[in-house]
């Protein structure tokens, strides 16, 4: 259990964030403080792995979706570990300190990711360790008031690349100004023995973080991903996939869907009717008429936008369709804000074939 849970008013979060505070008594006020960069979020339930050795970056580069071979000390990146079918298995946040690559992952994924990486070492010069018991993750929108850990001489601060399209990435969302432009999220590693230094630092619960994340259209592994999800469906190509790097597991599907096909589903943000004061839970069905067209993946009460949610819908769902979310026995009207458009994918121009009957001159 986190030290932050001993603060006055702390209420523990449910899964997938059990072990840290959902809020400290006033979620909306905490959200405003977090948005202003005046509060931190306890994420000490997250997993922390290290990969040490001279082959660490080239090895990770060969296994995952992002170009990591040129990562310099202090640089941040996001990468996905995909199945052969292109489906997302792990989402990994990476920061390198010149000696070790530090991987930040959702807590329940830590052991399975470590075991899989161990199985892929072969004769390479890499060593993998679980450092979750030594280091805690603290989230913020802006600089921390406490110095981050720097065991290798480089502060271990992961800066979320979601705020812009990374080199080699691709954005499906058509907004002129993407809402992530203001998403200055970062995750800092702190020695657990130093968490007492945050005693006087204002804290926001994970509910505040989730509301701001949803409003920034930012996907999360434990929320938006199921056993069929491919990166295109969540617009995750913008920060976690390099389209022109070498081969990696799942790369064929990534290229085929992006160049020649369409993702079968697409991420949207829903603006929910708050008349009944009901916030749909993750997994709540989204229907159009009498047909289910998707499901809610995460929801929150935003301090400016009101009740909002991310949902994954069938790709062909009409962007102008009237949608309803079934929240238990309550029907909640929802307005769709398109993130991944219906025509996402098929970016490669059709091949120009010679006309029959024409001879070359």
154: CATH: 3.30.1360.120
Which stretch of 54-58, 176-180, 194-198, 257-261 has the lowest confidence by average pLDDT?
Answer: 176-180
Same domain, 185 and 304: no
HSE-up of residue 190 (Cα within 13 Å, Cβ side): 25
Scored b (16 or more CB within 10 A) or e, 34-48 reads bbeebbbbbbbbbbb
**Number of structural domains the chain divides into:** 2
Assigned domain for 247 exists? no
Same domain, 308 and 191: no
Assigned domain for 249 exists? no
Same domain, 109 and 219: yes
Same domain, 89 and 221: yes
Same domain, 163 and 216: yes
* Averaged pLDDT, 196-214: 97
Assigned domain for 350 exists? no
Q: What is the mean pLDDT of the chain?
A: 94
Task: Tell me which residue range forms the domain holding 279.
Answer: 265-338
pLDDT beyond 60 at 200: yes
Assigned domain for 285 exists? yes
| pLDDT, position 360 | 45
pLDDT beyond 80 at 1: no
Assigned domain for 320 exists? yes
* Averaged pLDDT, 257-267: 96
What pairs with residue 136 in β-bridges? 190
pLDDT beyond 70 at 131: yes
Portion of the chain with pLDDT greater than 90, in percent? 89
In degrees, to the nearest 5, what angle opens at C-alpha 121 toward C-alphas 117 and 125? 125
Q: Could you tell me the pLDDT band of residue 85, with boundaries at 50, 70 and 90?
A: very high
Portion of the chain with pLDDT greater than 70, in percent? 96
Assigned domain for 347 exists? no
* Averaged pLDDT, 2-18: 95
Same domain, 221 and 273: no
CB atoms inside a 10 Å sphere around CB 273: 16
* Averaged pLDDT, 318-325: 95
| pLDDT, position 177 | 82
Structure tokens at 84: 């052969």
Same domain, 220 and 296: no
Q: Could you tell me the pLDDT band of residue 174, with boundaries at 50, 70 and 90?
A: confident
Tens of pLDDT, residues 102-122: 999 999 999 999 999 999 988
- Which CATH number covers residue 295? 2.40.30.110
Assigned domain for 25 exists? yes
Same domain, 186 and 276: no
* Averaged pLDDT, 180-186: 94
* Averaged pLDDT, 338-345: 95
Among 68, 55, 127, 63, residue whose Cα is nearest residue 94: 68
Note the pTM of the prediction, 2 decimals: 0.94
Assigned domain for 136 exists? yes
Same domain, 275 and 213: no
Same domain, 135 and 185: yes
Cα–Cα distance measured from residue 292 to residue 289, given in angstroms and rounded to the nearest whole number: 8
């Amino acid at each position: 259990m986190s030290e932050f849970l001993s603060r006055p008013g702390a209420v523990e979060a449910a899964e997938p964030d059990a072990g840290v505070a959902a809020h400290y008594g006033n979620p909306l006020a905490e959200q405003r403080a977090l948005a202003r960069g005046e509060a931190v979020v306890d994420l000490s339930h997250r997993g922390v792995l290290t990969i040490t050795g001279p082959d660490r970056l080239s090895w990770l580069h060969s296994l995952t979706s992002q170009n990591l071979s040129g990562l310099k000390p202090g640089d941040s990146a996001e990468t996905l570990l995909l199945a052969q079918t292109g489906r997302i298995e792990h989402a990994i946040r990476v920061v390198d300190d010149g000696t070790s690559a530090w991987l930040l992952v959702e807590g329940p994924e830590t052991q399975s990711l470590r075991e899989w990486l161990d199985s892929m070492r072969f004769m390479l010069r890499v060593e993998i360790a679980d450092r979750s018991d030594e280091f805690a993750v603290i989230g913020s929108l802006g600089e921390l008031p406490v110095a981050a850990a720097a065991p290798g001489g480089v502060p271990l601060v992961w800066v979320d690349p979601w705020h812009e399209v990374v080199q080699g990435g691709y954005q499906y969302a058509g907004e002129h100004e993407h809402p992530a432009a203001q998403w200055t999220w970062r995750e800092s590693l702190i020695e657990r023995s130093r968490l007492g230094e945050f005693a006087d630092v204002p804290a926001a619960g994970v509910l505040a973080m989730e509301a701001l994340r949803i409003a920034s259209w930012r996907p999360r592994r434990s929320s938006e991903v199921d056993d069929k999800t491919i990166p295109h469906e969540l617009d995750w190509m913008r920060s976690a996939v390099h389209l022109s790097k070498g081969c990696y597991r799942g790369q064929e599907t990534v290229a085929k869907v992006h160049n020649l096909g369409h993702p079968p589903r697409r991420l949207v943000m829903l603006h929910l009717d708050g008349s009944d004061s009901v916030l749909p839970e993750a997994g709540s069905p989204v229907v159009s008429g009498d047909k289910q067209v998707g499901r809610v993946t995460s929801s929150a009460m935003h301090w400016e936008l009101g009740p909002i949610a991310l949902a994954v819908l069938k790709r062909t769902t009409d962007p102008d369709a009237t949608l309803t979310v079934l929240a238990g026995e309550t029907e909640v009207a929802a307005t769709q804000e398109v993130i991944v458009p219906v025509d996402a994918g098929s970016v490669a121009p059709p091949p120009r074939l010679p006309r029959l009957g024409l001879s070359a001159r």
